[in-house]
Chain A
Amino acid sequence: MTSFILRRLALSVVLLFIISIISFFIVTLTPGSPYPWGELNPKISAEVKANFRKKFHLDRPLPEQYAFIMKDLFKGDLRSIKDDRPVMGKIMERLPATLALNFTAILISLSFGTLLGVYAARNAGRWQDIVCSFVAFLFIALPGFWISYLIAIILVKGFGVPILGTHSYGIAFPNHLAAYLDTIWHLLVPATILALGGIASQSRYLRATMIGTIREDYIRTARAKGLPEETVLYKHALRNSVRPLVTGIGLLLPALISGSVIIESIFAYPGMGRLGYEAVLERDYPTLVALNFVVAALVLLGNLLSDILYAAVDPRVRLE
């Protein structure tokens, strides 16, 4: 177990190195001005430009620039080109909201994905199964920005329900509980929209493995003992079909962060997706490189945790 974790961590370092190189070259090899002002702005003197280039090491060859960025990133000194604030500070202030949003979305994906997948597997080949797979593909095919916009506008303008931001403004809550519920409500709508794709993919994976599991002898035994069908499905069959759900969590995270770029912008939710979108608009490449690095580190951590979790769920699995 320990050697497994150590080897995985070593591999993660290699992957993070490749990831940092890819994201560095995407932002530096593309054309365009790196300045926070226009390239040809006549009010900016050549001296100011030269100082700016020196400050952000833009006068050095690319490999050196990369070394400077990575050194600053690890020392925590990396500064945003846009507002000269430390990049890690900008990311860290967004991290709690991002984690809350993505964790809720994963929870919704897993629970509803499980229900839908078990229901589809139980009725495999019948019309209920066809409806389930239709619904799953409908969820994947829904353009996230479209459905978010419709829901946001309908709820906010149509019914006056506040859902933008992390909490309602200008309202004095009678007690902490009400304020707490308000925050959860603001989290729930974007998280549900974000989770739609995950519900679909998790239910499809689970359906495929469940159909195989249901045919096993021990399921027939469990039924023959007279156990209720729910117990057979959710206790006996699900435990043995849960692998794709657990291994899928790691792959869910990059998809969720992709989705949150648009959804966070629409719902004015202050997470990392919106930070990334703002950094793209501002061509703030230290932030872009750092953001990709942090997201990739989270994904790798998620993958490692899901493998460990999987070993915990299934005693037959030994991590070696």
Chain B
Amino acid sequence: MSNDSKITPSTPTGRILRRFHADPLARISVLIIVLFALFAGGTALLSSFNLNWPFDPNITNLEQKLEPPSSHHWLGTDNLGRDVLSRMLHGSSISLTVGLIAVFVSLTIGIVVGAAAGFFGGITDQILMRSVDALLCFPTFFLILTAVALLGPSLLNIVVVIGLVSWTGTARLVRAEFLTLRETEYVKGARVLGQKSWTIITRHILPNAAAPILVTAVLGIPDAILSEAGLSFLGFGVQPPQATWGNIIADGKTYLLDAWWLIMFPGLAILIASLSFYLAGDALREAAESRN
């Protein structure tokens, strides 16, 4: 360990990364996330040039319907003879897009609300935090389902709605960080120097709250992926013929006894992808909170 500390810079970020890297589960999770992102990005890139590997996800072939996994169709075919692996690869880019954009939306709202409540306090804090309390009483998935069903299921509506209902956790966390950091010496010093609120918030407080915010962001991605999968399963996700992990399962559930691969593989993909994000996020939290 003493060798290690010589070569790693002793910045806070360096220490967090070193502790994160020391966790084997975290390393495997990051590897899976990188593979997942490469597959999703690669599939999206290839299909933008009209190239599809291994097959076109929407080409039906009724002569080859419900074929079990084989060397030709690695994960089998569905009831219309479409290749399951190709459909899952296309579904992975939907899942990743939903996860990233929904988290971006919820993080933006959560940081703005939490920062305003924590920094200004008083009546602003009261109004914002009572709204957060009210939103926390809603069953989140039911709220998402209602809004998406009524607005009409499209990729844009889904990410915006998931983002709009899931910022409460971030807002509470950012507010708590602001309440602590606002009392620190360097923030008081900045105030005495007459710096503007905006400068104090963006230059002095937010960078010091970056680690816990990053952790909620990573943990928010699988939440969004699971919500989208649930919506797709109920028929309110991104609409067919676009394949998503959730709608492959929804289409395949009728054939479960004859074609287990239709429901097993996409389910495992959702499970493994979200599990990796949860484990990576938790390892990051441990690394950021640990004081040694």
Which of A's residues lie within 8 Å of B, judged by CB? 11, 14-15, 18-19, 22-23, 26-27, 30-32, 130, 133-134, 137-138, 140-147, 149-150, 153, 157, 251, 254-255, 257-259, 261-262, 265, 273, 276-277, 280-281, 283, 288, 292, 295-296, 299-300
Give the most central of A134, A137, A255: most B CB within 10 Å.
Answer: A137
| Chain B residues with CB under 8 A of A137 | 275, 278-279, 282
A-B contact pairs, 13 of them (CB 8 A): A15-B137, A30-B151, A134-B279, A143-B267, A146-B267, A149-B256, A153-B256, A254-B138, A255-B139, A276-B145, A281-B149, A295-B142, A299-B137
CA distance A264 to B133 in the complex (A): 27
Which stretch (B10-18, B69-77, B228-236) binds chain A? B228-236
Contact B150 A30 (CB under 8 A): yes
Contacts of A32 in B (CB 8 A): 150, 152
Q: Which residue of B lies closest to A281 (CB)?
A: B149
Q: Which residues of B contact A133 (CB under 8 A)?
A: 282
Interface: B263 (CB within 8 A): yes
Give the CA-CA distance A288 to B150 in the complex, in Å: 11
- Residue pair B140, A258 in contact (C-beta under 8 Å): yes
Q: With a 10 A CB-CB cut-off, give which of A130, A258, A276 has the most chain B CB atoms.
A: A258
Residues of B with C-beta under 8 A to A292:
138, 142-143
User: A130-B25, A141-B274, A143-B226 are contacts. A258–B134 as well, Cβ < 8 Å?
Assistant: no
Query: Which listed residue, A130, A265, A280, touches B146 by the CB 8 Å rule?
Result: A280
Q: Which residue of B lies closest to A262 (CB)?
A: B230
Please tell me if the beta carbons of B279 and A27 are within 8 angstroms of each other in the complex: no
Contacts of B36 in A (CB 8 A): none
How far does the alpha carbon of A144 sit from the alpha carbon of B141 in the complex, in Å?
12
For chain B, residues 102 to 127, give those with C-beta under 8 angstroms from any C-beta of chain A: none
B6 at the binding interface (Cβ < 8 Å): no
Expressed in whole angstroms, the Cα–Cα distance for A249 and B131 within the complex equals 21
Chain B 243-276 interface 0/1 with A at a Cβ cutoff of 8 Å (1 = within): 0001001000100110000010001001100110
A18 to B127, CA, bound (A): 11
Shortest C-beta distance, B273 to chain A (Å), equals: 8
Distance, CA A299 to CA B133, complexed state (A): 11
When C-beta atoms are compared, the residue in chain B nearest to A153 turns out to be B256
Q: Does B222 contact A (CB under 8 A)?
A: yes
CB pair B136 A251 closer than 8 Å = yes
A154 to chain B, nearest CB (A): 9
Interface size class of B (residues with CB under 8 A): 35 or more
> Which A residues are CB-close (under 8 A) to B133?
15
| Chain B interface SS verdict (over half) | helix
Closest residue to A154 on the B side, CB-wise?
B256
User: A280–B249 contact, CB under 8 A?
Assistant: no
Is B130's beta carbon under 8 Å from chain A?
yes
Q: Give bound CA distance, A261 to B141, whole Å.
A: 8
CB of A18 within 8 A of CB of B131, answer yes
- Which listed residue (A142, A147, A153, A296) contacts B137, Cβ 8 A? A296
Residues of A within 8 A of B278 (CB): 137, 140-141
Answer yes or no: B209 CB below 8 A from chain A CBs: no
A141 touches B130 (CB 8 A): no
Q: Is the CB of B147 closer than 8 A to any CB of chain A?
A: yes
Smallest CB gap from A293: residue in B: B137
Find chain B residues with CB under 8 A from A262 CB: 141, 230, 233-234
- Which of B138, B222, B267, B274 touches A19 (beta carbons < 8 Å)? B138
Contacts of A18 in B (CB 8 A): 130-131, 134
Which of A134, A141, A255 has a CB less than 8 Å from the CB of B140?
A: A255
Beyond A141-B222, A146-B249, 13 additional pairs, beta carbon < 8 A:
A15-B133, A15-B134, A19-B137, A19-B138, A26-B150, A137-B279, A137-B282, A143-B246, A145-B234, A255-B140, A261-B141, A273-B142, A296-B137
Contact A257 B249 (CB under 8 A): no
A94 to chain B, nearest CB (A): 14
> How distant is the Cα of A141 from the Cα of B276 in the complex, in angstroms?
9
Query: Which residues 1-56 in B have Cβ within 8 Å of A in the complex?
Result: 25
